[in-house]
């Protein structure tokens, strides 16, 4: 796991080195440097927020800043660095760090809003942002609906994180010779992420079991946003040619899909003490995943009436017993094993495509290590917190 914990002294030293235009030598060094950039940027935003209004700065801006710095493996930032290095590491080395920091702010927005949509109580082993606003409402003996207040406040918090991300990307693009390309990739990333989130929500409401729908959601919601676009953003900064860019996009698409498939497995079979999230939310809501879609098809092909019944759409909230039957059906039909095999294949293809980009061997090793951490089975792998 990438270690993102930093003392103030370490963070200051990392920021100083970045200020001297030193190139991070590894993905881990890049993540450390991105954390330093984030801390400096968030300090400035919090100061501005305080100048506007002390209460909103404390409750809203402070909540966002704390959430961003509370955890996550900074995978997207690390993949920006990989793309930049693969394309020759040209230009100011501070630029990919700032792009990585902007992506972490987009990720904060996505997670805050995702938790609202899913009604999740826990994220990164702590109360979700909307759950914390609900606590605030109770502690302050406020009037009105606690749920309505906490939901609205969390939506605003996510909006603020996205606004900060856009500001940081814009400031960076304006000083880059490749600003137009950066903006095109960024615009596509945001649109794809929102489209994927909506299709995820719609498929769940419609009770879909279609494999094509599941793969489309996984591609838009995660594969492009988690790996392909970050690699492309980094490569843009070094003026990557068409051949290198195509190879990086293919590598990112494969690794991103593998990442989402692993996340789907962890959403059903993961240990909450490790993932920081409950292991039954996807099942209770019958969220459409490739794992679920395969299980439904395999159950039908095998004429497994029990599995078909367990996996069918339902208007009611599923009981603990029904959740257990769904989990067992996914195992019994062979869907879990099939997804594991797909993850292994996609990971192998991703590393092969990355090699076609012309990246030097050291960067190829760094990328392969990142893919392994993102999609592997190590116990420390946490769910969609990266």
Q: Average pLDDT for residues 63-74, to the nearest whole number?
A: 89
The mean pLDDT of the chain is 89
pLDDT for residue 124: 77
pLDDT over 70 percentage in the chain: 91
Q: Average pLDDT for residues 51-68, to the nearest whole number?
A: 94
Residue of 7 and 66 predicted with greater confidence: 66
How does residue 71 score in pLDDT terms, banded at 50, 70 and 90?
A: confident
pLDDT for residue 118: 84
- Per-residue model confidence as pLDDT tens digits over 212-270: 999 999 999 889 999 999 999 999 999 999 999 999 999 999 999 999 999 999 989 98
Q: Is it the case that residue 112 has pLDDT exceeding 60?
A: yes
Q: Is it the case that residue 6 has pLDDT exceeding 60?
A: no
d(CA 154, CA 8): 28
d(CA 348, CA 345): 5
Q: Is it the case that residue 13 has pLDDT exceeding 60?
A: no
pLDDT for residue 350: 97
Residue of 327 and 271 predicted with greater confidence: 327
How does residue 1 score in pLDDT terms, banded at 50, 70 and 90?
A: very low
SS3 at position 122? strand
The CATH code belonging to domain 8-375 is 1.10.600.10
Instruction: Parse the chain into domains and list their residue ranges.
Output: 8-375
Contact 14, 26 (CB under 8 A): no
Contacts 24+ apart (CB under 8 A), 185-190: 185/229, 185/232, 185/233, 185/236, 186/102, 186/233, 188/224, 188/229, 189/106, 189/224, 189/225, 189/229, 189/233, 190/106, 190/162
CA 140, chain centre distance (Å): 33
d(CA 323, CA 284): 6
pLDDT for residue 21: 56
Q: Is it the case that residue 325 has pLDDT exceeding 80?
A: yes
d(CA 50, CA 221): 34
- Per-residue model confidence as pLDDT tens digits over 182-215: 999 999 999 999 999 999 999 999 999 999 999 9
pLDDT over 90 percentage in the chain: 77
- Tokens linked to 196: 């994927």
pLDDT for residue 3: 36
Q: How many CB atoms are located within 10 Å of the residue 166 CB?
A: 16
- Tokens linked to 79: 């993949």
Residue of 230 and 16 predicted with greater confidence: 230
- Tokens linked to 157: 């918090």
Q: Is it the case that residue 358 has pLDDT exceeding 60?
A: yes
How does residue 381 score in pLDDT terms, banded at 50, 70 and 90?
A: very low
SS3 at position 127? strand
Q: Is it the case that residue 18 has pLDDT exceeding 80?
A: no
First to last CA, the chain: 10
Q: Is the pTM of this model over 0.85?
A: yes
- Per-residue model confidence as pLDDT tens digits over 23-49: 788 999 999 999 999 999 999 999 999
Q: Is it the case that residue 55 has pLDDT exceeding 50?
A: yes
pLDDT for residue 122: 85
Q: For residue 123, what are the β-bridge partners?
A: 126
Q: Average pLDDT for residues 293-308, to the nearest whole number?
A: 97
Contact 100, 81 (CB under 8 A): yes
Q: Is it the case that residue 14 has pLDDT exceeding 90?
A: no
Of 157-166, 312-321, 336-345, which gets the smallest average pLDDT? Answer: 312-321
Q: Is it the case that residue 316 has pLDDT exceeding 80?
A: no
Residue with tokens 């909450």: 272
d(CA 328, CA 343): 20
pLDDT for residue 25: 86
């Amino acid at each position: 796991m990438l270690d993102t914990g930093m003392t103030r002294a370490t963070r200051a030293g990392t920021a100083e080195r970045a200020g001297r235009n030193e190139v991070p030598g590894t993905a881990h060094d890049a993540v450390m440097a991105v954390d330093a950039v984030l801390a400096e940027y968030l300090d400035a935003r919090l100061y501005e927020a305080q100048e506007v209004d002390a209460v909103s700065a404390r409750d809203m801006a402070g909540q966002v800043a704390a959430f961003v710095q509370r955890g996550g493996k900074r995978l997207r930032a690390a993949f920006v660095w990989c793309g930049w290095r693969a394309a020759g590491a040209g230009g100011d080395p501070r630029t990919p760090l700032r792009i990585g920091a902007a992506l972490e702010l987009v990720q904060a927005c996505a997670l805050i809003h995702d938790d609202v949509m899913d009604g999740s109580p826990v994220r990164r082993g702590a109360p979700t942002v909307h759950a914390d606003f609900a606590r605030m409402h109770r502690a302050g003996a406020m009037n009105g609906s606690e749920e309505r207040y906490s939901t609205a406040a969390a939506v605003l918090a996510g909006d603020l994180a996205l606004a900060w991300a856009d500001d940081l990307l814009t400031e960076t693009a304006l000083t880059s010779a490749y600003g137009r390309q950066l903006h095109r990739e960024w615009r596509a990333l945001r649109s794809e992420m929102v489209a994927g989130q909506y299709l995820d929500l719609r498929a769940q409401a419609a009770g879909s079991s279609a494999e094509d729908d599941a793969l489309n959601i996984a591609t838009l919601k995660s594969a492009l946003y988690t790996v392909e676009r970050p690699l492309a953003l980094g490569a843009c900064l070094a003026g990557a040619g068409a051949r290198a860019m195509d190879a990086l996009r293919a590598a990112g698409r494969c690794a991103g899909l593998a990442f989402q498939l692993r996340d789907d497995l962890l959403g059903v079979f993961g240990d909450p003490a490790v993932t920081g999230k409950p292991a039954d939310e996807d099942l209770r809501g019958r969220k459409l995943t490739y794992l679920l879609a395969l299980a439904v098809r395999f159950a039908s092909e095998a004429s497994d009436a029990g599995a078909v019944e367990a996996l069918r759409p339902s208007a009611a909230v599923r009981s603990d017993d029904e959740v257990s039957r769904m989990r067992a059906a996914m195992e019994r039909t062979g869907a879990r094993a099939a997804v594991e095999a797909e993850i292994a294949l996609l990971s192998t293809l991703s590393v092969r495509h990355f090699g076609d980009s012309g990246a030097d061997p050291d960067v190829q090793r760094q990328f392969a290590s990142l893919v392994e951490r993102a999609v592997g089975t190590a116990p420390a792998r946490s769910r969609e917190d990266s």
